[in-house]
Amino acid sequence: MIPLQDRPSNWKQRVVFGVLGLVFLGVIGVYQVGLHGIEHSYERLLDTTVAQEKVALEISQAVLQARRAEKDFLLRMDTAYAEKVAKQVDLVGTLALTLADIAKETHDAEGIATAEDIQKYIKSYGESFASLAVGWQRVGLTPDEGLNGIFRSAAHKLEDQLKEFDVDMLRTLLLEARRAEKDFRLRRDVQYMTHHHELMQAMLRETEASLLNETAKTQILALLKPYQDAVAQAAEEIAANGNDATPETAEQLSTTAHHLEQFLDARHVRGGWRDYLLARRAEKDYQARGNEKYVQQLQEQVAHLAKAIQASGVSEENKQPLQRLLTEYQEAFLSTVAESNHIKELTEQMRSAVHAIDGPVEQALQHAREAQIQGVSSIQKQAIAVRRQALGLAALGLLLGVIVLWRRMPMFESY
């Protein structure tokens, strides 16, 4: 049995050791609670800021993929790339919603605003590009499609028709030959007959090289032969009698020459083929450079060609198809120009939209990284606070232990 006088002292010791036990349990509890809080903070960091950065990176990559597909479409004019753009735009929209949800969980007003900006600008970009793709489809993704196809068809029909009136050079050569013929009859100088022969050979070569159909070429050669024979007969008569050809030969010469002239005049559009080629050159210059001055040049050449057709000796039956084809060509070209101008506007809208999205995407990345840094800093501060609390409790327990030992030492019992 413990003496009664010793019981209070033993009781006090038990209380002190109990307190010390509680202190050390408190230290363990503080560490446990602190570690749990830190783990929770890290989980929250992974679920929010790290996830936010991951989504922002995915948005940035999707935007880049959309721009790449956009460039491929404009270079290759393949609708498959337009579909890729639409797919990436939808992906960015979905990711922006995810980014907004993450920001809402953390009550991040700035993150929410950034996500909404991304949604707004990617929608604008997607709509602008879709309109641009439709515009290019209207123009024609290949030379034979859309307005390009209509325009090329009109140009080729006009060209095929104008080929039947490619007699400018033939008519000029005939006029020069008639001049040489008359000079010979007036002056009896053989050099004019030599020149006339050279002109006839040139007419034969020009007939073969012309754009006329084979039927027209055959008709010209058939009309040219009697004229050449008449000139040869006249030359023989002049050489024989020293005077002009006989009236019969002169009549034959005039008749055959007029038949050939009438045939050529019925197919002669003064400068028609040249005007057409100049119009096509202006057309190609516009397509290559996009300068409106070439549109004006084409219209001027078309107007000049229309006047030449109207003033020509071509029959009304042939004039009407020519004028109709010329009008179709001009209208098709102007339709292409109008759509091209619309495409320019859509391109500017698309570029503005895609440039606008760059800022919010970069801002989302930067914001996620800053939030991650802040989260790590907060966790570090939390760990320091837990360590300080635990050390404080440990120091308190140590102090209590020292006091108990101090009170139990014999040298201090008198106190």
In a domain, 221, yes or no: yes
Last residue of a domain, one of 251, 268, 285: 268
- Check whether residue 118 and residue 50 sit in a common domain: yes
The reported pLDDT for the residue numbered 1 is 47
- Check whether residue 98 and residue 64 sit in a common domain: yes
- Check whether residue 63 and residue 105 sit in a common domain: yes
218-274 confidence digits (pLDDT tens): 999 999 999 999 999 999 988 888 787 888 999 999 999 999 999 999 989 988 999
Residues composing the chain: 415
Of the candidates 310, 286, 350, which has an alpha carbon nearest to the alpha carbon of residue 151?
286
How far, in Å, are 143, 247, 254, 326 from residue 301 at the CA level?
23, 47, 37, 11
The reported pLDDT for the residue numbered 361 is 75
Containing domain of residue 64, as a range? 27-140+345-408
Cα–Cα distance between 280 and 106 in angstroms, integer?
65
- Check whether residue 42 and residue 125 sit in a common domain: yes
In a domain, 39, yes or no: yes
Last residue of a domain, one of 268, 303, 336: 268
| CATH code: domain of residue 43 | 1.20.1440.210
- Check whether residue 40 and residue 94 sit in a common domain: yes
Cα–Cα distance between 325 and 338 in angstroms, integer?
20
Number of domains comprising the chain: 2
CA dihedral 52, 55, 56, 58 (to 10 degrees): 160
Of the candidates 165, 271, 168, 177, which has an alpha carbon nearest to the alpha carbon of residue 224?
177
The one-letter amino acid code at 292 reads E
In a domain, 263, yes or no: yes
In a domain, 386, yes or no: yes
In a domain, 325, yes or no: no
Cα–Cα distance between 373 and 381 in angstroms, integer?
12
Evaluate if residue 81 carries a pLDDT over 60. yes
Evaluate if residue 315 carries a pLDDT over 50. yes
Q: By CB neighbour count within 10 A (0-12 exposed, 13-18 middle, 19+ buried), where does 139 fall?
A: buried
Q: What is the mean pLDDT of residues 296-302?
A: 95
- Check whether residue 201 and residue 264 sit in a common domain: yes
- Check whether residue 191 and residue 249 sit in a common domain: yes
| This prediction's pTM | 0.68
Residue with tokens 């995810």: 98
Q: What is the mean pLDDT of residues 58-77?
A: 91
Last residue of a domain, one of 209, 239, 268: 268
In a domain, 55, yes or no: yes
Cα–Cα distance between 115 and 100 in angstroms, integer?
5
Least confident among 20-29, 261-270, 271-280, 314-323:
20-29
- Check whether residue 117 and residue 43 sit in a common domain: yes
Evaluate if residue 91 carries a pLDDT over 90. yes
- Check whether residue 256 and residue 179 sit in a common domain: yes
In a domain, 340, yes or no: no
Cα–Cα distance between 79 and 145 in angstroms, integer?
13
